[in-house]
Amino acid sequence: MSETRGAQRAPRETGAQATPARRSRTLLVSFLGSVVRKMGGWMPIAGTVALLAETGIDAASVRTAVFRLKKRGWLAPETREGMRGYVLTPLALDALAEGDEVIWHAREPADLGDGWCFVNFSVPESARSQRHRLTSHLTALGFGNIGSAVWIAPARMLPAARRALAELDLTRHCAVFVGDYVAGQDLREMVRSGWDLDGIDGRYREFAARYGPEAERLAATASVGGGHAFVTYLSVLDHWRKLPFRDPGLPPEVLADDWAGPEAVRLFERLVALLEGRALAHAAPHWSPGGRTR
């Protein structure tokens, strides 16, 4: 597998303008993680505008998305060889690396024998906003809710749970356990009550239906245009990187026999192998003063 990885999730947008604004930002974040890091962590703004225009994002939307990420501390202005651009900050690199862990590693199926991590909390009413942040954070980490203030995930999520509690200063209000399932409620039923497994499975199937035929076309084509490879590569990454955040990486023993996750993973890896080199070769000239853009 290549070293180029997916990116961290972009922040949500709300309101009537959510769809185009959010697409611009999420696509830019995917671009940062999958292209800019590979090019040394710096991007020329003119080249970025030109490349993302190929995906259907206009220049104004790109510049707005760049401005917002700059305000969040992800990008810092830097001119190289006479080209205006932005460098990824340590904050951005850390966030992208954290996203990598979910997208490429942490969502692999857990070993049932490793047990489970449980988080139980009792946050006072005066800290309601922190309680909401905690539940949102646990959900994002892949924890499922199986009872009143009881959250569960594969045992490997213990370090992530500890970090979340410490960051929110809620450790004193929570109890964290790691242990095995022994008896009682059927484990599969408990898992199904804690996660929207049908929804996750459906999203994997949607990904396969959307990009499976494209993988077959690419494999059967001797020559794939650089522009097509670049646009398809970013589209695949931007679509895929949302899926593992919803998937807790549960042990196969508690999932349906026809769980679509493994097939979707294989398809994603195949698409990256087919597209990545061509996509990066198409993007590379934009980083050179003598390239396509100034």
pLDDT tens, N- to C-terminus, the chain (294 residues)? 333 344 444 444 333 344 566 677 889 999 999 999 999 999 999 999 999 999 999 999 999 999 999 999 999 999 999 999 999 999 999 999 888 877 776 567 889 999 999 998 887 777 778 778 888 888 888 899 888 888 999 998 888 888 888 887 878 888 889 998 888 888 888 888 889 999 999 999 999 999 999 999 999 987 889 999 999 999 999 999 888 878 888 999 999 999 999 999 999 999 999 999 999 999 999 998 866 544
Assigned token pair, 176? 């964290």
Q: Residue 148 gets which letter from DSSP?
A: T
Would you state the pLDDT for residue 89? 97
Tell me the C-alpha to C-alpha distance, in Å, between residue 266 and each of 8, 78, 272. 21, 38, 10
Q: Among 152, 147, 195, which Cα is nearest to 177's?
A: 152
Q: Residue 111 gets which letter from DSSP?
A: P
For the chain, give every domain's residue range: 18-102, 116-179, 195-287
In b/e form, how buried is each residue of 3-20, taking b as 16+ CB within 10 angstroms? ebbbbbbbeebeeeeeee
- The span from the CA of 131 to the CA of 149, in Å, is 10
Would you state the pLDDT for residue 12? 41
Phi and psi, residue 127, nearest 5°: -115, 40
Assessment of whether the complete model's pTM goes beyond 0.85: no
Assigned token pair, 151? 């959250």
Would you state the pLDDT for residue 17? 40
- Can you name the CATH fold of 18-102? Arc Repressor Mutant, subunit A (1.10.10)
**Judging by DSSP bridges, how do beta strands 144-147 and 116-121 pair with one another?**
unpaired
Assigned token pair, 38? 């590979």
CATH 1.10.540.10 fits 116-179, yes or no: no
> Amino acid identity of 83?
M
